[in-house]
Amino acid sequence: MRVSDLAPRFLDFYDAALGAGAERRWQLWQDLYRFAPVPPTPEGQHLARQMLEAAWPRYPEVMDRIRGGASGVEPAPGPVLQSVAACLGYDGDGTVELTVFVGMLDGGAFCFGRAGTPVVCIPVEQEAAGRARMLPHELTHAVHMLAAGRTGGWERSVGDLVLAEGLATRVTAALLPGRPEADYVGSMAEPDWFARCQAQEAEILRGVRERVAQADAAAVKAFTLGPGPAGLRREAYYAGWVLVGHLLAAGRTLAELAHAPGESAPALVAAAIDSYLA
């Protein structure tokens, strides 16, 4: 694992922006830092500006963690990566890059691919308990990329998205057993989200089934940021949790699913939905 620490870059921005107005602060953020857990789209940049303004007054509360940088991150990511790889039956070559950044105080982490290498990005300011749930999820995405030869790009089929999120939530449950289901899947910012998804489960799954092969930015946005066909955020996460759980109960394994080629995901997910709803 290679580690990149963006905290010093953020501190350069923060020091320069002290006392600046909102417009100047945004310009400095773009010039000196420009890193946020948002989609790589113009809409994502608009969202980043909103998040920066909301987070700005609260950065002093977590400045000790920010100044500690990557060296202060707990739990240590390396052993978690080893546990995830074992859970997914992956023992091949490949490097995972870990980028430790200063986020928007919302716990947002993400994983993407760069020239065939998985890059996992985690916020340095997050408390250890939240990171303990987040690390297995994001590192599962990284190992899944290596095991299945996935690109890790933002645009992919809805089926591939659902399978990836289902794997990530189920690996987290396997490594951190005994917690409520919502802890593995839910949005901490929306305490009633998981219950709402349960109430609309069939509608969510039918929405995935109808668009399972769609592979564009609009579809990815609908099933992650939302609203999805059922009118909720993060519908891919809930659908993935249910469907991968269904496949595991039917005898598939996490390792088998992790090694399935990305192009097979729409058919795999569609068949799982048909079986589950029947």
175 falls in which pLDDT band (50, 70, 90)?
very high
pLDDT digits (tens, 9 = 90+) for 197-244: 999 999 999 999 999 999 998 999 999 988 999 999 999 999 999 999
| AA letter at 169 | T
49 falls in which pLDDT band (50, 70, 90)?
very high
187 falls in which pLDDT band (50, 70, 90)?
low
What's the half-sphere exposure (Cβ side, CA atoms, 13 Å) at 239? 33
Q: pTM for the full model?
A: 0.93
pLDDT reading at 12 higher than 90: yes
HEC states along 73-96?
A: CCCCHHHHHHHHHHHCCCCCCCCC
Report the pLDDT value the prediction gives residue 39, as an integer from 0 to 100.
80
Report the pLDDT value the prediction gives residue 188, as an integer from 0 to 100.
59
182 falls in which pLDDT band (50, 70, 90)?
very high
When pLDDT is averaged across residues 28-45 and rounded to a whole number, the result is 89
122 alpha-carbon distance from chain centroid: 10
Closest Cα to residue 81, out of 166, 171, 195, 169?
A: 171
Report the pLDDT value the prediction gives residue 100, as an integer from 0 to 100.
97
